[in-house]
Amino acid sequence: MQNPFHHLARGIFIKDNKVLLAQARGYTNTFLPGGHIEFGESAKDALKREIEEELGINCTVGSFLGVVEHKWEKNGVLHCEINQVFEVKSDEFHSNSNPKSIESHLEFFWCNGSDLDDNNLQPYPFRTLIKNYLNGKKDVWWESSLSIEIDDSNRS
């Protein structure tokens, strides 16, 4: 498939100034929980479904935070994605222990807001947006990396 396009719903879980991140086993980048929106599915419904599939928990998908457009290259193929981002809440886990994934290829862990760069959060515009959000800036997000040259952190 040449030039794949990904339409994604992502969730921000925040507890005790920590953000829940996901990581695919064997990869160095991390990402926010969530995943692909199926044709005809709303972003909120997709996010709720993905969280249930990945973590096996019930959650409440809250406020829309914004959109991040991003691109990366894998095996010489350009990928583009649109991430719709929402606040998500659940009382089924706490920030003092990492939730267990029910999908064997994923791991989840809590990350201090100041450590998003060190954990290679992708798409990278999320790093600044989340730090600003944790510091009280509640503006609707819109960021794009589409006009920026792909670097080694976005190429595999």
Residue 144 burial by CB count (10 A; 0-12/13-18/19+): exposed, middle or buried?
middle
Residue 71 lies in a domain: yes
Residue 73 lies in a domain: yes
**pLDDT, tens digit, for every residue of 23-52?**
999 999 999 999 999 999 999 999 999 999
Place of tokens 């419904």: 45
Q: Counting every residue, how long is the chain?
A: 156
User: For residue 95, what are the CA distances in angstroms to 18, 54, 99?
Assistant: 7, 17, 9
**pLDDT, tens digit, for every residue of 62-77?**
999 999 999 988 888 9
Residue 96 lies in a domain: no
Domain count within the chain: 1
Q: Is the pLDDT of residue 102 over 90?
A: yes
> Bridge partners of 22?
31, 108
Containing structural domain, residue 109:
5-91+102-147
Q: In the prediction, which pLDDT does 2 show?
A: 66
Residue 107 lies in a domain: yes
Q: How far apart are CA 77 and CA 65, in angstroms?
A: 29
Residue 155 lies in a domain: no
Residue 143 lies in a domain: yes
- Which CATH number covers residue 76? 3.90.79.10
- The pLDDT-based confidence of 122 (bands split at 50, 70, 90) is very high
pLDDT, mean over the chain: 92
Beta strand residue intervals within the chain, DSSP E: 5-12, 14-15, 18-24, 34-36, 60-74, 77-89, 106-112, 141-144
